[in-house]
Amino acid sequence: MQRSRLAALGLAAATIVGGAVGVLGATSADAALSTNWYAAAPYLMPQSNNPPDPVTVMNATGAKAFQLAFILAPNGGGCSPTWDGTTSINSETVVSNAISRIRANGGDVSVSVGGYGGTKLGQTCGTPAATAAAYQQVITKYNLKAIDFDLEEPEYENTAAIANELGAAKILQANNPGLFVSVTMPGTASGTGWFGTQLLDQAKSIGFTPNNFSIMPFDGGFNGGSSQVAALEAFHGLLMSHMGWDSATAYAHEGFSGMNGKSDVSEMFYTSDFQTVLDYATSHGLGRFTFWAVNRDRACVGTTDNSVCSNVPQNDWDFTKFTVKFAGATPPTTTPPTTPTQTPTTPTGCTAPQWSKTAIYVGGNHVTYQSHDYTAKWWTQGETPGTTGEWGVWQDNGSC
């Protein structure tokens, strides 16, 4: 998924850290969710693209799991796992704190490795065993019950790298009983392209069967949900012919990974399109339904940045609710109270509360800072008004 994924906006990491609860080591194996939740976990970048508070999203939608992205090789090379190619898993705190908060709220996470761009561990680790050893560090540190292999450019066309990734996935399956493993790849109108079929052939040749193979039917000239359903049906045929599965088995091992709103090439996917694909997925017994990304699952206010909002009409977290439905749950019909408790006020002069570095604010909250009134555009904490620019979280309403 191209999706401006590695664009660190500088807005980001602090918003997801606040209020961390517990430590990862305190989470027991009993914390695992049922498989349907890992199959429905939407993607979330925890360190960039203005990450929303995951607990707020959970409470508003009923979601229980997120697909955290992405684990990559270090930007300078090597065979050790990092977040976004920049932060070693051994030194990070942002992701660990986010996971702790999600689990304390009754949820869990999967971690996605790869994605579009960057250097992948399959390219640098040399062998399936070495690649698996790097990913095992991630599984062990975060006590994972699920992992996603998002196999894209520039690795996708590298036969040796794909062999390392799929071989590693098979090793991890054997060494971590019950591990939910998804494999995500680009989609085309024909289901997937030549490199995708080679990937399926490689998996079959080594005897590797993940919980699902998912395609991403966007950025390829798609036009709404009906074209995505057609691609999924074509991919179903490829799973039968390349993996040797009957129809029911192929559907059960097939997944959809969409993009909400405006795609990288200006395709538009609305909530009605997600409903079309969801109806197909549930009626045919597909094994996964997810999308890129929760960071974008909100209306654009004061910006059209495609990495932080959808550019289509919606309420916050509307697309996430489709994944909740796929998991077999019913999203709340009304949005429950969010963690922030401060009530928005309408400023008259400098009557809004003084901005506080430690307070949590949501869209619509007013604050006073240096004799100016500011309005928060979205959830934020620790971002000083007047320093985030015209596309940032704080709208300057002028002096008061």
Classify the phi-psi angles of 244: left when phi > 0, otherwise alpha if psi is within -120 to 50, otherwise beta: left
Interatomic CA distance for residues 315 and 294, integer angstroms: 12
Interatomic CA distance for residues 295 and 71, integer angstroms: 17
In sequence order, the β-bridge partners of residue 395 are: 375
The two three-digit tokens of residue 342, written as one number: 């401060």
Helix, strand or coil for residue 82? Answer: strand
In sequence order, the β-bridge partners of residue 367 are: 374
CA distances from 326 to 163, 191, 292 (A): 31, 21, 16
Interatomic CA distance for residues 115 and 108, integer angstroms: 21
Q: Report whether 227 contacts 217 (CB < 8 A).
A: yes
Radius of gyration of the chain (CA): 21
Interatomic CA distance for residues 346 and 396, integer angstroms: 14
**Beta strands of the chain (E only): which ranges?**
43-44, 65-72, 82-83, 87-88, 108-114, 146-150, 180-186, 212-216, 254-259, 261-262, 268-269, 288-292, 360-361, 366-369, 372-376, 380-381, 394-399
The values of phi and psi at residue 366, to 5°, are -105, 140
Residue with tokens 């976990």: 41
In the chain, the amino acid numbered 130 is A
- The H-or-E segment that residue 398 falls in is strand 394-399
Q: Report whether 180 contacts 146 (CB < 8 A).
A: yes
In the chain, the amino acid numbered 169 is A
Q: Report whether 308 contacts 18 (CB < 8 A).
A: no
152 assigned to active site: yes
The two three-digit tokens of residue 398, written as one number: 């002028």
Interatomic CA distance for residues 228 and 230, integer angstroms: 5
User: Exactly one of 92, 152, 165, 267 is catalytic; which is it?
Assistant: 152
Residue with tokens 């009134």: 373
In the chain, the amino acid numbered 63 is A
* Positions marked catalytic: 152
